[in-house]
Chains A and B, each alone.
Chain A
Amino acid sequence: MSTDILGVIAMFLLTVAIGLPLGKYIARVYKGERTWLDFMAPVERLFFRVSGIDASREMTWKQSMVALLSINLIWFFWAMFLLMTQSHHPFWNPDGNPSMSPDLAFNTAVSFLVNCNLQHYSGETGLSYLSQLGVMTFLQFVTAGTGMAACAIVFNAMRNRSTEHLGNFFDYFMKSCTRILLPISMVVAVIIAMEGTPMTFEGKDTITTLQGAEQQVSRGPAAAMVAIKQVGTNGGGFFGVNSSHPLENPTYLSNMVENIVIILIPIALAFALGFYLERKRLGWMVFGAMTAGFLMLLTTTVYFEMNGNPAISNMGIDQRLGSLEGKEMRLGAAASGMWATSTTVTSNGSVNAMHDSLTPLSGMNTMIGMMINSFYGGVGVGFLNFFVFIIIAVFISGLMVGRTPEFLGKKVEAREVKIAIMIALLHPFLILSGTALAAYVYVQDPTVGWLNNPSFHGFSEMLYEYTSASANNGSGFEGLGDNTPFWNITTGIVLALSRYLPIIGPVAIAGIMARKRYIPESAGTLKTDTGTFGLMVFFVIWIVSALAFFPSLVLGPIAEYFTIY
C-alpha cells in the first residue's frame, strides 16, 4: 500500500484513539468533576469575580442565549475597531499594513465572530500582527468556546429530569476555553513551531536567492494562531493560502497534527455525549452515523485526487502522484484529499490545497460536507446540527411505527419539530437563494468579473461561496473575486443568520424538552441508541440534503465531471 494512503489511515485512527479519552475528559469538565486541569480554576474564579459573574447561578436556556448574544455583540465591536484602525496600531504592525475598508471589515468581523473565518483578504498584506492576535486568534478561541458552551447546554438538557436550570453559559464558555481549547492549542502550537512554523514579531524578511533575485518572505506570530485555528474548527489562516503555505504547514508531521485536530474535538464531543449522559451506546450511535458519512466522502475524495485530472492525463504525462494543480509536494494528493474532507465536514475551512482546483467530484464532496454540516461538524455546533436531524428522525420514526415520538424519555411534540424543520431548511434556503442572486447578477452583467473559471466550474465557485458562508466553514473556491461590496455584504448577512439561528434553535428545542415530564423507558419506547436508529438518522440527513441540493450540484460539479471524464 502506498505511504500516502497509510498516512491518511494513520491520521484517522490516531484521531479516534485520542478522541475517545478526550471525550471522557470533556464530559468530566462539563459535569464539573475533578480533572487534572483544575489548576486553571483560580484563573477562572478570578475572571468571574472581576466581571461580577456568579458562575454557579443556573440559567434557563433563554438566559443563556441572551448572555451568548450579549458577549458576541461586544466582540463584534472590538473586531471592527481593530480592523478599521490597523494603520494606527501602535505596535505589532511591522509591515505597515493598511486599515480595512468598512465593508471588508464588516465581512471579516462577522466572519470571525461566527466561527466561519471566510477571508476576503490575505493575511500577509491585509492584517497587522495585532489584528492577527487581537481579532483572529482571540475570536478563534472565544467563538469556539461559545459553540461548545451551547453544546454543553444541550447535553445538560438531555439528562433524565425535568428542569429549567441548564447550567451557566459563562461557566461552560470559560471552561471550554481554558480546559479544552487552550491546552490542546498549546501542544499543537509547540509542535508546529518545532517543525518550522514561524513565531516571531519580526516583519517581512528580504533575501537574495541562490539565483541572485530578491525574494521577500512574510513571517509573523503564526504558530500560536495556526494552532487554535485548527483546534477550534475556525480555519482562518495566518497566510493567504492557509495551511498550504509552507510556513503555516511546513512538514508532513505538522500536516498530520493540524489535520487531526480539525476533527478531534468534534469526534470527542460525540463520545462526550455518551459519557456525559452515561449512555455510551448513544455516543457510539452518533459517532457511527457521523463516521459513516465522513468515510463515504473521504474515500471518494482521496480516490479522485489520487487518480489525477483526466484532461491532463490525456496530454500523455506522468500523473501517478495524482492531481497536483493547487497541491503541495510535501503533502501529496491523498493527504490533501483527507484535509479537504476533514475541513468541510467540520466547519473548519482551513485548506492545504486549493479547493478550486480539485477534480470535479472531490469539489462536490467538499460542498456536500458543508451542505450536511454535521458529519462531525464544527466544535459544539456540529453536534447541534446533528441534534436537529435526530429530532426529525425521531419524529419520522414515530410516525412510521405509529407511536408518539420520544427522545431520551421526553415527548417530541409539534413545536420542537417545527423548530427543527425550520433550522434544517434555513441552511439550503440561505445557500440556494444566495447563489441564485449571485448568478442572476452575473448573468445581467458578466463584466463584474467575479469568476476565475468559465462554465459549470464558474457556477460552482458561486455555489461554494454561499455554502461555505452558510455552513460557517470559511474555505472557498478562491478563484472567486470576492472582496467586493456585493460579496462582502451578502455573505456577511448569510454568515450572521446561519450562525445564531442554528445555535438558538437546537438549544430552544433542548430547553423545551428539558422542562417536560420524564417518561421512563418501556417496551414501547423507540430505542435511539441502536444501529437501526443510527441508520435512520443517516438516511434522514441524506434525504433532506439530496432533495435540497442535488439540482444545484448537477449544474455545477456533476456537469463539469461529464465534460472531462
Chain B
Amino acid sequence: MEPKVKEKHPQERLIQRPVPGRKGTGGILKQSLILTILCIGFFVFLYPLSIWAISKVAAPNGGEGKIVESNGRAVGFENVGQSFTEDRYFYSRPSAVEYDGGGSGGSNHGPSNPEHLAEVQGRIDAFLEKNPTVKREEVPAELVTASGSGLDPHLSPQGALVQVERVAHVRNLPVEQVRALVQEQVEAPLIGVLGPEKVNVLKLNVALDQLDTQR
C-alpha cells in the first residue's frame, strides 16, 4: 500500500513518516493486556460498585426491588406482575411463562400464526364466560394477549373496569364501590401528558382485599 501518488505531488514529500513504534506487535499485545486489566478494575468493579453504593442509600428498598405488603406480609414486587386466576381477584394479563419471575419471556407468536390466533380466540371465549355481563367489543386486547416479559404488572384502566362486575359479584360488594376503587388506582401518564394510563394489578388487588376486610 505504498502511495504511488507520492511522486506525483511534490508537496507530499514533506510529509513526515510516522515515528515507528519502538515495540512490535508483541509490544502492542502487552500494552493492550495491561490496559485491559486496568479497564477491568475500572468498569467491572469501580463503576458498578459506585452505582451500587448510590442505590443502597437512595434507591427504593436499597436497590433490591420495591416490595408490596399486605397486612404486614410481603406479597410481591411492585414491578413484577403475578398470576391472578381466582375470580375474586382482578386477573393479570396472560403470560407465556406463567409469571415465573425466575425467568421471563413472551410468546414470540407472529401476528399471522394460526395457533396464536386460536389461542386468543380461546381466551376471549373463556373471559366472556367468566364475565357474562361484558360485551365482546368491550374486552380490551391486553386481557387476551401475552405481554413481552411475561411479567407485566399492569392493565389499562379498561382492562380492570371490565372485570369490576365479576369481582363485585363474587365478593358481594357494591359494583359502584369496586369501580371507584379501580378509578382510585389508575396511575396517570408521566407528568400528566406522556404515555399511557395504567393500573397495577397487584396493588389493586391488595387494595381490594383491604376494602373487603374493612367491611
Residues of A within 8 A of B (CB): 3-4, 6-7, 10, 43, 47-48, 50-53, 57-60, 62-63, 66-67, 70-71, 73-75, 78, 122, 124-125, 133-134, 137-138, 141-142, 162-165, 170, 174, 177, 182, 185-186, 189-190, 193-194, 196, 198-202, 204-205, 207-211, 213, 215-219, 221, 223-225, 227, 239-241, 244-247, 250-253, 255-256, 308-309, 311-312, 315-332, 335-336, 351-354, 356-360, 363, 452-457, 460, 477-479, 512, 515-517, 560, 563-564
In the bound complex, what is the Cα–Cα distance between A186 and B120 (angstroms)?
42
Apart from A330-B152, A331-B196, A357-B110, what 15 extra A-B contacts exist at CB < 8 Å? Answer: A7-B190, A48-B35, A141-B47, A170-B35, A186-B47, A189-B51, A247-B77, A318-B137, A320-B140, A321-B140, A330-B154, A336-B148, A457-B112, A460-B110, A477-B110
Question: Are the CB atoms of B103 and A125 closer together than 8 Å?
Answer: yes
Question: Are the CB atoms of A327 and B147 closer together than 8 Å?
Answer: yes
Q: Which residue of A lies closest to B32 (CB)?
A: A71
With a CB–CB cut-off of 8 A, which chain B residues contact A351?
148
With a CB–CB cut-off of 8 A, which chain B residues contact A255?
195
Interface presence of B175 (CB below 8 A): no
Question: Are the CB atoms of A7 and B195 closer together than 8 Å?
Answer: yes
Proximity string of chain B (115-155) to chain A, C-beta cutoff 8 Å, 1 when within and 0 when not: 01100110010000000000011111110111111111111
Question: Are the CB atoms of A324 and B142 closer together than 8 Å?
Answer: yes
Question: Are the CB atoms of B52 and A252 closer together than 8 Å?
Answer: no
Q: A138-B39, A244-B148 are in contact. Are A207 and B110 (CB under 8 A)?
A: no
Q: A221-B48, A454-B114, A560-B112 are in contact. Are A52 and B30 (CB under 8 A)?
A: yes
Question: Are the CB atoms of B104 and A124 closer together than 8 Å?
Answer: yes
In the bound complex, what is the Cα–Cα distance between A247 and B150 (angstroms)?
12
Q: What is the distance, in angstroms, from A311's C-beta to the closest C-beta of chain B?
A: 6
With a CB–CB cut-off of 8 A, which chain A residues contact B83?
209, 211, 213, 215
- Interface of chain B residues 89 through 128 with chain A (CB within 8 A): 89, 93, 99-114, 116-117, 120-121, 124
Question: Are the CB atoms of A353 and B148 closer together than 8 Å?
Answer: yes
Q: Which residue of B lies closest to A319 (CB)?
A: B141
In the bound complex, what is the Cα–Cα distance between A321 and B144 (angstroms)?
13
Question: Are the CB atoms of B105 and A312 closer together than 8 Å?
Answer: no
In the bound complex, what is the Cα–Cα distance between A354 and B192 (angstroms)?
27
Question: Are the CB atoms of B145 and A312 closer together than 8 Å?
Answer: yes
Q: What is the distance, in angstroms, from A8's C-beta to the closest C-beta of chain B?
A: 9
Interface presence of B174 (CB below 8 A): no
- Interface of chain B residues 1 through 18 with chain A (CB within 8 A): 1, 3, 5, 9, 11-12, 15-18
Residues of B within 8 A of A (CB): 1, 3, 5, 9, 11-12, 15-19, 21, 25, 27-36, 38-40, 42-45, 47-48, 50-52, 54-56, 58-60, 62-66, 70, 73-86, 89, 93, 99-114, 116-117, 120-121, 124, 136-142, 144-156, 158-159, 189-190, 193-198, 202, 205-206, 209
Q: What is the distance, in angstroms, from B122's C-beta to the closest C-beta of chain A?
A: 11
Q: Which residue of B lies closest to A508 (CB)?
A: B1
Question: Are the CB atoms of B152 and A125 closer together than 8 Å?
Answer: no
Q: A71-B32, A245-B104, A563-B112 are in contact. Are A252 and B140 (CB under 8 A)?
A: no
With a CB–CB cut-off of 8 A, which chain A residues contact B206?
210
Q: What is the distance, in angstroms, from B203's C-beta to the closest C-beta of chain A?
A: 10
With a CB–CB cut-off of 8 A, which chain A residues contact B151?
245-246
Question: Are the CB atoms of A59 and B11 closer together than 8 Å?
Answer: no
With a CB–CB cut-off of 8 A, which chain B residues contact A251?
190
Q: Which residue of B lies closest to A189 (CB)?
A: B51
Q: Which residue of B lies closest to A11 (CB)?
A: B194
With a CB–CB cut-off of 8 A, which chain A residues contact B139?
317-318
Question: Are the CB atoms of A200 and B155 closer together than 8 Å?
Answer: no
With a CB–CB cut-off of 8 A, which chain B residues contact A317?
124, 136-137, 139-141, 144
Q: A198-B65, A327-B147, A357-B110 are in contact. Are A60 and B18 (CB under 8 A)?
A: yes
